[in-house]
Amino acid sequence: MKRDFVDLEDFDAVQIEQLLTLATELKTALHDGRAEPLLAGRSLAMIFQKPSLRTRVSFEMAMYQLGGHALYLSPDEIRLGERESTPDVARVLSRYVDAIMARVFAHSDVEQLAKWASVPVINGLSDYSHPCQAMADLLTILEKLGTLRDVRLTYLGDGNNVLHSLLVGGALMGMHVVGATPPDYRPQAETVARAERLAEQSGGSIRLMEDPVEAIREADILYTDTWTSMGQEEETQRRNSAFPPFQINEELVAQGPSIAGVMHCLPAHRGQEITDSVADGPLSWLFDQAENRLHAQKAILVYVRED
């Protein structure tokens, strides 16, 4: 049966644990000079509607380190649903490559690719979720704190795709996730409800708040993301008016006595959602997260391979 990696909602806690264990093993093997070509002879098509430093380099290097090959397909080369229908793109690429990674605007494009492709499809980012980032985040937290269970993570800012995946991933793993957003920028209600059900089963919890100071008082980790994502440029002025109270700065961090680390999926708009002093300070986990995109995605690539 074909294995896709479209949303964390499609997995259970045991499967996530297995992926994290595999990511840890692959990272250790690389650092110890014991990396094996587990994907020798395999190829990955990388569809990009949005540019990305981390997504492109981490997937390309992941395939290289695993002995495979990655093919970059730019927005002008594909133009899903415009130059060629998404189902046709999925079926054509399935004849050429062993897996497809797509970084897109509309989540429906990833779902269509997964529906019509006969090879595994990986969601490199969509407007609804960012499961590869969440896997790197969970790996980073596990490395730093030694556990995920009962870890308290507070996300500050836009209720976007990153928060959706953190809510679901955190709920699956028994974490206590707080989403602190302005009232007009809450995460999707259906996703919150789904995460709440998962948290009930795992012993975790999900809370939404509008007061950033109250939200961080018991946090172990603070997390933020850009206030305006690609495709939202026309909303920049309105967003820049709503989000300043949610900026992670030294004054805010000082009000969270249990904070062990600060996270950001990058790219960071320094001076907006996070200040230089925090991003480059002793609590910053930003670049450990960035590195772990490579290792988490290697685990995903190995997981979806068809033997």
Catalytic site positions: 103, 130, 133, 225, 265, 293
DSSP string, the chain: ----BS-GGG--HHHHHHHHHHHHHHHHHHHTT----TTTT-EEEEEESS--HHHHHHHHHHHHHTT-EEEEE-HHHH-BTTTB-HHHHHHHHHTT-SEEEEE-S-HHHHHHHHHH-SS-EEEEE-SS--HHHHHHHHHHHHHHHS--TT-EEEEES--SHHHHHHHHHHHHTT-EEEEE--GGGPPPHHHHHHHHHHHHHHT-EEEEES-HHHHHTT-SEEEE--SS-TT-GGGHHHHHHHSGGG-B-HHHHTT-TT--EEEE-S---BTTTB-HHHHTSTTB-HHHHHHHHHHHHHHHHHHH---
